[in-house]
Structure formats: C-alpha cells, structure tokens
C-alpha cells in the first residue's frame, strides 16, 4: 500500500485539476492519495468522481493556514465535515484575506517589475484559493522569472520587501474546529526554515494538548538535521508519523509518492474520523 496524503490541485495552487491529479496518482502507482488544497474543499467532489476510473482511493483533507504565537504554520485536516460552520467561516475569512494580500504584494511588485493584477487573475482557475504561487506564475508569464522557485527566491519569500502576510487563525483553534467536525489534524512540514520562522519544540506539546493527531516528519522541506528531534518529539507525545509529497503538479519539483504514510497510521486516522476514505 502506497499512501501519499498531502497534495494540491487547481482548487488552490496546484497546476492539475482534481481529475488530472487522480490520473497522475494512478501513474505514480499510489493506492491512496490525499487532496489537501489550501483553505478549500472545492476539489473533493471532482476527485471523488475519478476514484472508480483511476482505481486510486481518495483521502479527503484540507491544508489550513494557521499561526502559533505569531509564526505562520500549516495544519492538515482530514476526513471532517466541510459543512461545519466554523470551518466554512475559516475558509471564507482566509480566502478573502488572501485576495487583499495578493493585491498588496502585486502593488509593491508593480513599482519595480512589469506585473499587474490582471496578470495574476489570468493564472487563477475559477474560484481557486489564491496564493503566492499564482503571483509567481504571473511573473513567469511576463518573463520576469523562469520558474516559481526563482520567483520565491527573488520576490515572494517572507524576507522579501514585497512580502505581505494574510490573516490566519490560531492553530489550536483550527485543531479544535477539525476535531469538532469529526476529523483529525496533522502539523504539516513543521521544520521548514526556508518557508520562514519555525516553531520552538514546546509548540508540539501545546498542539498535542489541543488534540493534534500527527506530525508530517517525512517531507522534503523539513531540514534533514531536524528529523531525529522530530521523531523523538512525536514519539514522546504519541503523535502519528506522516510523510507526503506536497505535490503541486508542474509548479514544484515535488513528485507524487516521494514520501508516504504507513497504512497503519491511515487506519488509525480513519478509525477516529467521521468521513471515510473513498475506495474504488
Ligand atoms: P501562500 O499560500 O501564499 O503562503 O504560498 C505558499 C505556497 O507557496 C505553498 O503551497 C508552497 O508550496 C509554495 N511555495 C513556497 N515556497 C516555494 C518555492 N520556493 N517554490 C515554489 N513554490 C513555493
Ligand atoms: Zn501550495
Ligand atoms: Fe503547506
Ligand atoms: Fe501543501
């Protein structure tokens, strides 16, 4: 069983539609794929419809934008009821804030490079959750940079003068909402210094107390030297070990299945959750 629980589609900042993602998952020989778009579950229905044809099972999830003591972090929520009022409010608030934030970043960028809001809108499919990767794609389309990676290095990283933050709720609150809606929560890429400040080790205890289920240990953005400590902390707090690709399609080098989560962990997850994995 090969399980990759954390990926993105065009419902947020991935480059493949949910249907294309499911086909890619089949070509990558995955048995189960998790669709975890940023602050939206809009891709769930289309991905579920592709389960019978592709033979790949679907784990429904979402990557929540959150913060812990002022540090931006991501929390994966799995198998929760997405009609829950608090979760709907979360999505609406964060997605609205992401639009204002992207506009503000483009305004700053436009002072120095040829790019405008229309260029960014042209990169966003439908009602997708907007993020910096869409600004990166606009910079690529204008020939300012060659790749998303170059756009992040030169213009979009949190240390850049063009960077503007967006609203995000407390991670402890997010964990509470996910559990209340019948799901479980996992701390995504917790030791990724190139994404910005990382939380201190005490944070894991606070999040565990709030009901965190697992930690994404096997992820390409976690600093390799932090893995032994992550393993120790997760074991001592009884947090499940997750691994995933964080696949975004053509936008990033991450390949489907480059990291995986054990069937035992996914079984323990589903036993505690309201929704089920959708099998072919
Ligand atoms: P945002 O949601 O606007 O904060 O943007 C975060 C997204 O940008 C994440 O999904 C990352 O996958 C993506 N990202 C972060 N750093 C890079 C990079 N160096 N190259 C490509 N994508 C990146
Ligand atoms: Zn993303
Ligand atoms: Fe993330
Ligand atoms: Fe992600």
pLDDT in tens, 56-111: 999 999 999 999 999 999 999 999 999 999 999 999 999 999 999 999 999 999 99
Q: Whose CA is nearest to atom 14 of ligand 1?
A: 133
Residue 220: predicted pLDDT: 98
Which ligand number lies closest to the CA of residue 163?
1
C-alpha span between 129 and 108 (Å, rounded)? 21
Q: What is the pLDDT of residue 85?
A: 98
- Residue 136: predicted pLDDT: 98
The residue whose CA is least distant from atom 2 of ligand 1 is 131
Over 90: is that where the pLDDT of 10 sits? yes
Mutation probe of ligand 1 site: the residue of 145, 152, 164 with most atoms within 8 A of C-beta: 152
pTM of the model as a whole? 0.98
What does the block give as tokens for 28?
């990558």
User: What is the CA(232)–ligand 2 centre distance, in A?
Assistant: 28
Q: How much is the average pLDDT of 171-195?
A: 98
Please report how many Cα atoms fall inside a 13 Å half-sphere around the Cα of residue 134, on the Cβ side.
Answer: 29
Residue 98 contacts by C-beta under 8 Å, 6 or more apart in sequence? 39, 65, 129, 130, 131, 166
- The Cα 235–Cα 252 span in angstroms is 31
- C-alpha of residue 10 to centroid of ligand 2, in Å: 10
- Give the Cα separation of 13 and 132 in Å (integer): 8
């Amino acid at each position: 069983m090969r399980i990759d629980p954390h990926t993105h589609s065009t419902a947020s900042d991935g480059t493949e539609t949910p249907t294309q993602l499911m086909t890619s998952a089949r070509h990558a020989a995955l048995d189960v794929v998790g669709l975890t778009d940023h602050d939206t579950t809009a891709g769930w229905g289309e991905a579920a419809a592709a389960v019978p044809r592709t033979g790949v099972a679907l784990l429904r999830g979402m990557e929540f934008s959150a913060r812990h003591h002022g540090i931006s972090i991501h929390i994966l929520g799995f198998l929760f009821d997405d009609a829950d009022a608090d979760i709907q409010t979360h999505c609406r608030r964060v997605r609205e804030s992401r639009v204002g934030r992207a506009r503000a970043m483009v305004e700053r960028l436009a002072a120095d490079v040829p790019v405008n809001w229309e260029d960014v809108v042209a990169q966003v499919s439908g009602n997708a959750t907007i993020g910096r990767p869409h600004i990166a794609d606009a910079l690529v389309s204008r020939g300012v940079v060659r790749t998303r990676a170059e756009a992040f290095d030169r213009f979009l990283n949190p240390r850049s003068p063009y960077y503007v933050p967006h609203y995000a709720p407390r991670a402890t609150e997010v964990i509470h909402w996910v559990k209340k809606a019948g799901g479980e929560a996992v701390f995504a890429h917790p030791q990724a210094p190139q994404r910005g400040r990382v939380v201190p080790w005490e944070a894991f205890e606070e999040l565990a107390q709030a009901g965190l289920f697992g930690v994404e240990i096997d992820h390409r953005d976690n600093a390799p030297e932090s893995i032994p400590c992550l393993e120790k902390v997760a074991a001592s707090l009884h947090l499940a070990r997750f691994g995933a690709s964080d696949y975004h399609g053509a936008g990033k080098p991450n390949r489907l299945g480059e990291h995986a989560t054990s069937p035992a962990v996914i079984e323990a997850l589903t036993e505690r959750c309201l929704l089920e994995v959708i099998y072919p």
